[in-house]
C-alpha cells in the first residue's frame, strides 16, 4: 500500500462490546479476534501505518488490559496513546476524549477496529486533500445503505436525517473509515460523553452543506466482522477465494498453519483451516472450515466442522440460529458441543450435539423439503422393527427439525481409505449386501401391513423423470448437447422405463452408495432413507457397485453382483426364476443416468463443483453398462443412446 505524503494521526475505535460475537467475546475483546492468526487490531494498524499514519489513538473499554498488553508488546507501542473509557463513549465521545492528540494536525482518520478491508488508505487520504472537503467518508455498496451520495461525490444526507434527496443520488454504506477535519470538534460535545460521530457530521452538514464528500473505490474487499457468520466468511474469502488483497494474506491458500502448531500427518484438513500458536490436531482427526485459537486442540479421531475452537470452548458458526430452535429448548449451550456434519448433495443441514460423552444428530430442513414428513414416519416405522436406520428421538414439524441417533463418522467411503487387503474390502461389502437384502426383503413384507406408512412407487413416470433429469442436467447442461438431439432419445427412454418397471418390486433405499452407509458399533447402518420406496429389484445393488465415489474394478463389481444374486436366491427361492442379469443391467443404466444428472445439477446449478469430478467415472460406467446390454440376451435395444454416449 503506497504511503501518503500527508501527515495525520488515526483514531482506531476499539472499545466496543462485540455482543453479536458472543460467546467468543466473553473471552477476548473484538479488536483482538484473530483473522488467519493475526489480531484485527494488528491488521488495521498495520494498514494505517503503511499508508503513512504518524500516530494512533486507541480507545478501550471492554477487557482493556488485554488490548493494553497487545499494544505494549507490538511494534505500535511507541506511536500509540491508549484512551481508557470507564463508561463507553461511542463513536463520537471516543474522539472527543482523544481530541488533544487528534487535533495535532489539521486532519485525522477514524478506522473501526472490526473492519477488514483492502481499501487503499493512502489513496483515500490523497483524495480527501485533493477534494478540499472537511470530511471524506469511504463508502461501499453494502448491507446498510443509509448515506445519500451524488455522482460528483457529494454527501447530502445520512439516515434520512436532513430530508435532502437530490436528483441522481443513491444510498451507500459507510465503511467505518473516514478522514475528518479537526473542525468536527466544533459540532460535538465539549466534554467526552456517549454520542455518535454521525451526530457531529450532520450538524456540520447543516452549517456547511458542501463540507462532506465520499471516497468510493471499486473492486475492494470489505467485511464488517460483527457476527460469527461474517467472521467465518472472512476466512473463507482469504483462504479459499484469495479475495483480500493485503500483503499479509497473499501467500495463504486453504490453510494458515502457525509455525508453532502441531498437525498430525494422519489428520485430514479440508475447506479452510487456520491454526494458532501451540494448537494441536491429533491423529486421524478431520477438521473442516475451522479456526483454532492459540493453544486449542482437536482430539484424535474427532470430526470438527464450522467451529471456532479455543482452549476454553468451541463455538459453532450458527450457534445463535441454533439457540432459537424449539427442539433444543432446555439445552445448556454452555455444556454441549456443536459441530456440523459433512455436507453432501442434500440441502439439509446436519449437526452433532455432544454432551456428557453422548452424541445426537440434529437435522434441519425447510418448507421446500418434500421428504421431511416421509423422513419422520418412515424412520419411526423402521425403528419399530430394528432396521439399520437411525432412531428418531424428537421432531418439530413447524421448524422442520429432527433429533436422532448419532451413527458416528465412519461412512463406508471413509472406511475404504483404511482397508488395504482385497479380502477385507470384499468382506465389508458382502456384509453390506447381506444387510441390504434383509432391508429389502423384510421391508417389502412389512410395508404391506395395514399400519405401515404408505410408500411411493418407483413407477414408469418416476423412471422417466430420472432420464429427463439426465438429459437436462447432464447432456444439455454439462455436455452442451442440443435439446433437439436430446429429444431424439425420448422413445428409447420410454422403452427403458417400461422395461425396468416390469422388474420384481421390492422395498428400496433409492440412494444406496458409500456416503449413505455407516459402520457403527460393528453394525452396518443406513442413513438418508427418506427417499425409500417400492421399486425395481436391481436399482439399489447397482447403486452400490457402480458408486462413482469409489473406484472398484470390473472383477470386484462382478463378484459383488454375483454375491447379491446368489444370496437373494438363497433367501427367497422365487427369485431363481427371474432373469437377474437383465434386472441389474437395465436398472444400472437407469441409476447411472440419474447420478450423472445429479452431478451436473449439483456442480453447475448448486455451486458444488466437487461433484463434477465424478462425471468421468459415471460416464465410464454408463458406457460399460450399454456394452453389457448389447452383449446380453435382453430384448431391450438402445441404439441412439449407445451412439451418443460413445461420442461423449
Residue 1 domain-assigned (yes or no): no
Residues 213 and 137 in one domain: yes
Smallest CA-to-CA distance from 544 within 515, 524, 503 is with 515
Quick check: 345 pLDDT over 60?
no
CB contact at 8 A, 522 and 435 = no
Instruction: State how far the Cα of 51 lies from the Cα of 3, in Å rounded to an integer.
Output: 4
Residue 260 domain-assigned (yes or no): yes
* Residue 385, Cβ density class (10 Å: 0-12 exposed, 13-18 middle, ≥19 buried): exposed
Residue 4 domain-assigned (yes or no): no
Instruction: State how far the Cα of 631 lies from the Cα of 41, in Å rounded to an integer.
Output: 70
Q: Where are the alpha helices (DSSP H) in 385-476?
A: 412-416, 422-446, 460-469
Residues 72 and 195 in one domain: yes
DSSP state at residue 342? P
Residue 3 domain-assigned (yes or no): no
pLDDT at 366: 82
Residue with cell 424428537: 394
pLDDT at 343: 61
Residues 217 and 250 in one domain: no
- pLDDT band of residue 478 (cuts 50, 70, 90) is very high
Burial 413-431 (b: 16+ CB within 10 A, else e): bbbbeeeeeeeebeebbee
**Which of these ranges, 116-120, 142-146, 322-326, 533-537, has the smallest mean pLDDT?**
142-146
Instruction: State how far the Cα of 538 lies from the Cα of 560, in Å rounded to an integer.
Output: 13
Residue 581 domain-assigned (yes or no): yes
What sign for the dihedral angle of Cα 95, 99, 105, 106?
positive
Instruction: State how far the Cα of 42 lies from the Cα of 29, in Å rounded to an integer.
Output: 13
CATH number assigned to the domain comprising residue 267: 3.30.200.20
Interior angle at CA 93, CA 147 and CA 61, nearest 5? 110
CB contact at 8 A, 441 and 547 = no
Residues 514 and 400 in one domain: no
What size, in residues, is the chain? 648
pLDDT at 3: 57
Cα-based distances in Å from 263 to 37, 260, 271, 297: 16, 10, 16, 10
Cα-based distances in Å from 543 to 384, 442, 515, 550, 590: 26, 20, 11, 12, 10
Instruction: State how far the Cα of 375 lies from the Cα of 369, in Å rounded to an integer.
Output: 10
Quick check: 171 pLDDT over 60?
yes
Domains held by the chain: number: 3
CB contact at 8 A, 267 and 285 = yes
CB contact at 8 A, 622 and 593 = yes
Residue-wise pLDDT tens digits, 60-104: 999 999 999 999 999 999 999 999 999 999 999 999 999 999 999
Quick check: 432 pLDDT over 80?
yes
CB contact at 8 A, 124 and 137 = no
Quick check: 418 pLDDT over 90?
no
Quick check: 328 pLDDT over 60?
yes
Instruction: State how far the Cα of 237 lies from the Cα of 638, in Å rounded to an integer.
Output: 48
CB contact at 8 A, 184 and 204 = yes
Residues 183 and 218 in one domain: yes
Residue 480 domain-assigned (yes or no): yes
As given in the structure block, the three cell numbers for residue 105 are 494536525
Last residue of a domain, one of 405, 440, 474: 405
The three-class DSSP label of residue 175 is strand
- pLDDT band of residue 346 (cuts 50, 70, 90) is low
Last residue of a domain, one of 368, 389, 405: 405
Q: Where are the alpha helices (DSSP H) in 288-360?
A: 319-323
Smallest CA-to-CA distance from 75 within 56, 61, 101, 96 is with 56
- pLDDT band of residue 307 (cuts 50, 70, 90) is very high
Quick check: 217 pLDDT over 90?
yes
Cα-based distances in Å from 535 to 513, 516, 646: 17, 19, 29
Smallest CA-to-CA distance from 391 within 540, 533, 527, 531 is with 527
* Residue 251, Cβ density class (10 Å: 0-12 exposed, 13-18 middle, ≥19 buried): exposed
Residue 215 domain-assigned (yes or no): yes
Residues 49 and 155 in one domain: yes
Cα-based distances in Å from 532 to 209, 267, 405, 447, 509: 68, 35, 19, 11, 4
Quick check: 1 pLDDT over 60?
no
Domain span holding position 135: 9-224
Quick check: 251 pLDDT over 70?
yes
pLDDT at 356: 76
Residues 256 and 377 in one domain: yes
H/E run at residue 268: strand 268-275
* Residue 491, Cβ density class (10 Å: 0-12 exposed, 13-18 middle, ≥19 buried): exposed
CATH number assigned to the domain comprising residue 489: 3.90.1200.10
Beta-carbon contacts of 66 under 8 Å, excluding residues fewer than 6 positions away, are 28, 29, 32
Mean pLDDT of 249-266: 91
Residue 117's DSSP bridge partners are: 222
pLDDT at 344: 56
Residues 236 and 219 in one domain: no
CATH number assigned to the domain comprising residue 73: 3.90.550.10
CB contact at 8 A, 413 and 286 = no
Q: End-to-end CA distance of the chain: give it in Å, rounded.
A: 50
Residues 203 and 269 in one domain: no
Residues 394 and 494 in one domain: no
Instruction: State how far the Cα of 390 lies from the Cα of 526, in Å rounded to an integer.
Output: 8
Quick check: 15 pLDDT over 70?
yes
Residues 387 and 298 in one domain: yes
The three-class DSSP label of residue 113 is coil
Residues 213 and 247 in one domain: no
pLDDT at 144: 85
* Residue 487, Cβ density class (10 Å: 0-12 exposed, 13-18 middle, ≥19 buried): exposed
- pLDDT band of residue 5 (cuts 50, 70, 90) is low
Residue 358 domain-assigned (yes or no): yes
Smallest CA-to-CA distance from 13 within 51, 54, 48 is with 48
Last residue of a domain, one of 224, 242, 263: 224
- pLDDT band of residue 45 (cuts 50, 70, 90) is very high
Quick check: 355 pLDDT over 90?
no
Residue with cell 453398462: 625
For the entire predicted model, the pTM comes to: 0.80
Residue-wise pLDDT tens digits, 507-529: 999 999 999 999 999 999 999 99
Amino acid at each position: 500500500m503506497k504511503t501518503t505524503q500527508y501527515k495525520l494521526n488515526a483514531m482506531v475505535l476499539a472499545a466496543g462490546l462485540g455482543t453479536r460475537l458472543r460467546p467468543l467475546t466473553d473471552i477476548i475483546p473484538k479488536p483482538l479476534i484473530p483473522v488467519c492468526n493475526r489480531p484485527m487490531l494488528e491488521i488495521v494498524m498495520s494498514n494505517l501505518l503503511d499508508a503513512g499514519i504518524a500516530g494512533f489513538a486507541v480507545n478501550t473499554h471492554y477487557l482493556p488490559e488485554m488490548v493494553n498488553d497487545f499494544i505494549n508488546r507490538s511494534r505500535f507501542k511507541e506511536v500509540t496513546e491508549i484512551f481508557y473509557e470507564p463508561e463507553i463513549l461511542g463513536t463520537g465521545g471516543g474522539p472527543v476524549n482523544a481530541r488533544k492528540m487528534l487535533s495535532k494536525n489539521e486532519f485525522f482518520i477514524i478506522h473501526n477496529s472490526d473492519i477488514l478491508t483492502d481499501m487503499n488508505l493512502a489513496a483515500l487520504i490523497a483524495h480527501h486533500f485533493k477534494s478540499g472537503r472537511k470530511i471524506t467518508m469511504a463508502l461501499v455498496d453494502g448491507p446498510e445503505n443509509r448515506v445519500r451520495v451524488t455522482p460528483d461525490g457529494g454527501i447530502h444526507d445520512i439516515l434520512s436525517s436532513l430530508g435532502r434527496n437530490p436528483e441522481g443520488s443513491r444510498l451507500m454504506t459507510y465503511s467505518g473509515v473516514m478522514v475528518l477535519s479537526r473542525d468536527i470538534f466544533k459540532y460535538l460535545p465539549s466534554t467526552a460523553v456517549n454520542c455518535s460521530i454521525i451526530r457531529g457530521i450532520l450538524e456540520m452538514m447543516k452549517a456547511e452543506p458542501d463540507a462532506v464528500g465520499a471516497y468510493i473505490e471499486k473492486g475492494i474487499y470489505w467485511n464488517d466482522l460483527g457476527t460469527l457468520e461474517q467472521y467465518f466468511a472472512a476466512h473463507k474469502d482469504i483462504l479459499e477465494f484469495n479475495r483480500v488483497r493485503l500483503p499479509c494474506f497473499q501467500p495463504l491458500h486453504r490453510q494458515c498453519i502457525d509455525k508453532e502448531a502441531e498437525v498430525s500427518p494422519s489428520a485430514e484438513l479440508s475447506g479452510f483451516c487456520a491454526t494458532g500458536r501451540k494448537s494441536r490436531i491429533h491423529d486421524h482427526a478431520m477438521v473442516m472450515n475451522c479456526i483454532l485459537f492459540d493453544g486449542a486442540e482437536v482430539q484424535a479421531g474427532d470430526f470438527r466442522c464450522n467451529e471456532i475452537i479455543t482452549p476454553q470452548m468451541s463455538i459453532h458458526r450458527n450457534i445463535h440460529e441454533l439457540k432459537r430452535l424449539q427442539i433444543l429448548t432446555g439445552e445448556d449451550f454452555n455444556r454441549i458441543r456443536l459441530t456440523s456434519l459433512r455436507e453432501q448433495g442434500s440441502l439439509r443441514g446436519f449437526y452433532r450435539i455432544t454432551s456428557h460423552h453422548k452424541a445426537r444428530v440434529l437435522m434441519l430442513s425447510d418448507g421446500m423439503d418434500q421428504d421431511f414428513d416421509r423422513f419422520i414416519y418412515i424412520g419411526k416405522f423402521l425403528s419399530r422393527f430394528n432396521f439399520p436406520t437411525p432412531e428418531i428421538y424428537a421432531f418439530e414439524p413447524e421448524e422442520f427439525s429432527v433429533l436422532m441417533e448419532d451413527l458416528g463418522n465412519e461412512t463406508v467411503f471413509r472406511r475404504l481409505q483404511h482397508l488395504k487387503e482385497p479380502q477385507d474390502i470384499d468382506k465389508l461389502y458382502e456384509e453390506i449386501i447381506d444387510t441390504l437384502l434383509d432391508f429389502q426383503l423384510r421391508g417389502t413384507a412389512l410395508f404391506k401391513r395395514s399400519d405401515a406408512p404408505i410408500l411411493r412407487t418407483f413407477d414408469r413416470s418416476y423412471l422417466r423423470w430420472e432420464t429427463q433429469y439426465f438429459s437436462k442436467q447432464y447432456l444439455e447442461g454439462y455436455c452442451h448437447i442440443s435439446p433437439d438431439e436430446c429429444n431424439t432419445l425420448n422413445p428409447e427412454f420410454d422403452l427403458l422405463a417400461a422395461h425396468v418397471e416390469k422388474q420384481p418390486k421390492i422395498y428400496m433405499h433409492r440412494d444406496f452408495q458409500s456416503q449413505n452407509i455407516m459402520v457403527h458399533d460393528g453394525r452396518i447402518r443406513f442413513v438418508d432413507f427418506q427417499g425409500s420406496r417400492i421399486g425395481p429389484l436391481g436399482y439399489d445393488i447397482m447403486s452400490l457397485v457402480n458408486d462413482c465415489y469409489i473406484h472398484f474394478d470390473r472383477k470386484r463389481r462382478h463378484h459383488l453382483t454375483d454375491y447379491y444374486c446368489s444370496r437373494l436366491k438363497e433367501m427367497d427361492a422365487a427369485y431363481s426364476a427371474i432373469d437377474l442379469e437383465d434386472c441389474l443391467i437395465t436398472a444400472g443404466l437407469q441409476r447411472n443416468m440419474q447420478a450423472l444428472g445429479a452431478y451436473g445439477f449439483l456442480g453447475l446449478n448448486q455451486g458444488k463443483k466437487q461433484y463434477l469430478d465424478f462425471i468421468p467415472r459415471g460416464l465410464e460406467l454408463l458406457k460399460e453398462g450399454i456394452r453389457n446390454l448389447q452383449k446380453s440376451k435382453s430384448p431391450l435395444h438402445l441404439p441412439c443412446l449407445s451412439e451418443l454416449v460413445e461420442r461423449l
